[in-house]
Amino acid sequence: MRKETKAAPIGGADALLRAFEEFKAANDARIDALERKRGDVLLDEKVDRIDRALSEQKSLIERAALAGRRPGLAADPAVSEHKSAWNAYLRRGDLSALTQFEAKALSVGSDPDGGYVAPPELDRMIEARLKQVSPMRSIATVRTTGANVFKKPISLTAAGTGWVSETGARAQTSTPTLTMLEFPTAELYANLAATQTLLDDSFVNLEDWIATEVEEAFAGQERAAFVNGDGDDKPKGFLDYDLVAEGSHVWGKIGYIATGVDGAFAASDPVDDLIDLIYTPKPQFRQNARFAMNRKTVSSVRKLKDGDGRYVWEPNDAGGATLLGYPIAEIEDMPDLAADSFSIAFGDFARGYLIVDRAGVRVLRDPYSAKPYVLFYVTKRVGGGVQNFDAIKALKFGES
């Protein structure tokens, strides 16, 4: 009797590749048992266990990579006085130095209700960390603006062109049709609590502490908004726009194709649904395209094979994975597989979705509301929305 082994969730990309080989063997045995109409419960449990181990291994590799890439604050002699004043405000609530900077008309603003604008280093640190933990920030285009609303002109039709000889007359060409897309920013906030002991410890980097504390809080709110946000005091998610069948697609809506089955892939040749989705965007949007789905959906597509019996999900040497040769962005706020759900999206998200950051992070120090703790009310303005409706397509798990 062969001894069963478990996929170890450590060891880097090699362990991920070994785990996937064991997953394929177990899943093939499960499929064989189902085809003989005598499903093996132990095989099903084994496949699920290895599937979980694959996900854990991939997460460990990603966390290790992120830990090595987290940025620190670089020393800048030109702003040392500014940072010293900022540090005094965070630790002791000393406003005198910051007030002096305001009198000199430097880049430190204040608002009795909104707090003080943090040094640019803290703003950049938070944005860099958010990019590492927020999947949409890693695949979309991110712009920084000084205004509350970012406006972008878009050409809906191409300018008129034509061929002509060197000395031939040039006929007047048509002008492109332009529209203006607006991306308003909304306030994202976090309320952090610190003890006075923490603030008195000179070895604690308070800017790094603030960036660390708001990282996951901001990232969680952003993940949900960039996918499903309704645009009301938050970014507008790409799945909150009108979704229409690709045959009826027009600018301003997201096109989709359907699997033909409620809550599932097609019963026969399910991989064809993914292939059809890949070829729904125009060619210029496929070169840098990727899939977007949550980990439950990844678990389902991980078991799919093409017509030659090869698995369409494949791990790579970098610890990531591809689906039919395209990268996968695991976004937990994508819908689970269900009737009429849009659980998989595909396209060039860098060209399709725009994230707008208003420059400046505000911090309000409050030592009174939650004694003996000192509260730090941190706010940042963020917006987002679709900037090219041809670049992103969705797969609907429904009949039509």
Q: How far is CA 38 from CA 22, 45, 48, 188, 303, in A?
A: 22, 15, 18, 53, 19
Q: CATH code for 116-158+175-294+331-400? A: 3.30.2400.10
Q: How far is CA 385 from CA 24, 41, 48, 381, in A?
A: 39, 45, 36, 14
Beta bridge partners of 322: 314, 327
Q: Which residue ranges make up each domain of the chain?
A: 12-69, 116-158+175-294+331-400
One pLDDT digit (tens) per residue for the chain, 400 residues: 444 444 444 456 677 777 777 777 777 777 777 666 555 666 667 667 767 766 766 666 666 665 555 554 444 444 556 678 888 888 888 877 666 555 443 444 445 445 788 888 888 888 888 888 889 999 999 999 988 999 988 776 666 677 877 777 777 666 667 788 999 999 999 999 999 899 988 888 888 999 999 988 898 899 999 999 999 999 999 999 999 999 999 999 999 999 999 999 998 899 999 999 999 999 999 999 999 999 999 999 999 998 888 999 998 776 678 999 999 999 999 999 999 999 999 999 999 999 999 988 899 999 999 989 999 999 999 999 999 999 999 999 999 8
Q: DSSP state, 294?
A: -
Beta strands in the chain (DSSP E): 110-111, 115-117, 141-145, 149-155, 178-184, 186-194, 243-245, 254-258, 290-293, 313-315, 321-323, 326-330, 341-347, 353-358, 362-366, 374-386, 392-397
Specify burial of residue 104 (Cβ count, 10 A radius: 0-12, 13-18, 19+): exposed
**What is the C-alpha separation between 55 and 260, in angstroms, rounded?**
29
b (16+ CB within 10 A) / e for 204-224: eebbbbbbebbbeebbebbbb
Give pLDDT, residue 387: 95
* pLDDT tens profile 348-392: 999 999 999 998 889 999 999 998 999 999 999 999 999 999 999
With the C-alpha atoms ordered 70, 75, 79, 81, is the resulting torsion angle positive or negative?
Answer: positive
**What is the C-alpha separation between 87 and 205, in angstroms, rounded?**
9
In the chain, what is the straight-line distance between the N-terminal and C-terminal CA atoms, in Å? Answer: 49
Evaluate whether 238 touches 378 at the Cβ level (below 8 Å): no
Query: What's the mean pLDDT when you consider all of the chain?
Result: 82
**SS3 for 223?**
helix
Evaluate whether 217 touches 190 at the Cβ level (below 8 Å): yes
**SS3 for 106?**
coil
Specify burial of residue 181 (Cβ count, 10 A radius: 0-12, 13-18, 19+): middle
In sequence order, what are the residues at sequence separation of 6 or more whose Cβ sits closer than 8 angstroms to the Cβ of residue 391?
281, 285, 347, 348, 349, 351, 352
Give helix 120-133 / helix 206-228 axis angle, nearest 10°.
50
Phi, psi values for residue 158, rounded to 5°: -75, 150
Phi, psi values for residue 217, rounded to 5°: -65, -45
Q: Provide, for the chain, the percentages of residues in helix, strand and coil under a 3-state DSSP scheme, each rounded to the nearest 5.
A: 35, 25, 40
Residue carrying structure tokens 């308070």? 206
In sequence order, what are the residues at sequence separation of 6 or more whose Cβ sits closer than 8 angstroms to the Cβ of residue 97?
84, 85, 88, 89
Which tokens belong to 2?
Answer: 């062969």
Which tokens belong to 211?
Answer: 């960036």
